[in-house]
Amino acid sequence: MKIAVIGGGSWGTTLADMLAKKGLETRLWVREQKVMHEIRTLHENTWYLPGRPLAPNLDVSTDPAHVADGVRHFLFAVPCQFIRHAYARFLKYLPKNPAIICASKGIELDTLMPMSDVCEDVLGALKPRFAMLSGPSFAFEVINGIPTAVALGCAHKKTGKEVQEALSSPAFRVYTNPDVRGVELGGAIKNIIAIASGVADGLGFGSNARSALITRGLHEMSRLGKAMGADTETFMGLSGLGDLVLTCTGDLSRNRQVGMRLAKGQKLLDILGEMKMVAEGVKTTEAVHALGQKLGVELPITEQVHAVLYRNQEPAAAVHALMTRTLKDE
């Protein structure tokens, strides 16, 4: 199998390196000439993964035509708000019925579309076979060979098995799931709850608050998922509960770090301006908040995270609003 990985950030580089080290012919598309030259000559991506040697057989280029030549499997790992642009950039180079593996977690803000719908909107004429890669997977741990398990949402059984076998290794275990909608929504919504968890940690709250946020966040995720046609059981798996626990507790979680810094009084624009990588939960909060209103789904945690991010709500006041909501059955 030849596979093209689109996106030279920490996750795209990690996945490309993993595939190349398995012996698969792997081509990595990056945007910057400097990054391409560095990976070609030093076998390292110093901006996102400093000190981590990359496979010497990894083919890297800024040319979409070269990256796509003779390839049928394309793995997109760019920030979710840029996924439409990435699909469009490669559109004329893709074959008919390409396998599109999306590793971008979020909801497109302008259209409120999840990633599979964006793929269909841009590439539908090619009849793509879509798969969504999600689950608890910090790039730093994966590239260091630390055992990781993820979910692959794919409605095409043959494609799912192909991609599962291509990605799996002794340190990276892939489970398939036909519920694409559930897998992609879990990966998106957990980032919002992670911001809330970071706020709680930043305010000095303890394990009680964090466990409550994870539990009620899972319920919120399932409620919106059900309204959008997902199987609620999916949210009990790796792309739901698994990723939720990771991003709400892990120090490498960018979204949790955003919440912690907001709780300390820092301004959102200052926080984002100092981050090397994208915290997907910031824009996803805006998109999911709008989705909840559109579908009539109550999303109290999302509502308060949105208020903190976009309506200058004080973090402590947001916590008070959550804790003093009308009492109800679980």
User: What residues are labeled active site?
Assistant: 190
* Strand pairing report for 59-61 and 129-134: unpaired
* Strand pairing report for 148-154 and 129-134: antiparallel
Structure tokens at 62: 């800024």
239 DSSP assignment: I
Instruction: Please report how many Cα atoms fall inside a 13 Å half-sphere around the Cα of residue 259, on the Cβ side.
Output: 38
Structure tokens at 238: 């790796």
Q: Please state, as a whole number, how many other Cβ atoms lie within 10 Å of the Cβ of residue 283.
A: 19
Structure tokens at 56: 């010497």
Quick check: 112 and 287 in contact, CB under 8 A?
Answer: yes
Structure tokens at 92: 């004329």
Q: How far apart are CA 323 and CA 73, in angstroms?
A: 47
- Strands of 116-240, DSSP E: 129-134, 148-154, 172-177
Closest CA to 163 of 330, 327, 326, 1: 1
Q: How far apart are CA 177 and CA 230, in angstroms?
A: 12
Exposure string (b/e) for 288-297, b if CB count within 10 Å is 16 or more?
bbebbeeeeb
Closest CA to 302 of 314, 317, 316, 291: 291
Structure tokens at 21: 């080290």
Q: How far apart are CA 302 and CA 180, in angstroms?
A: 22
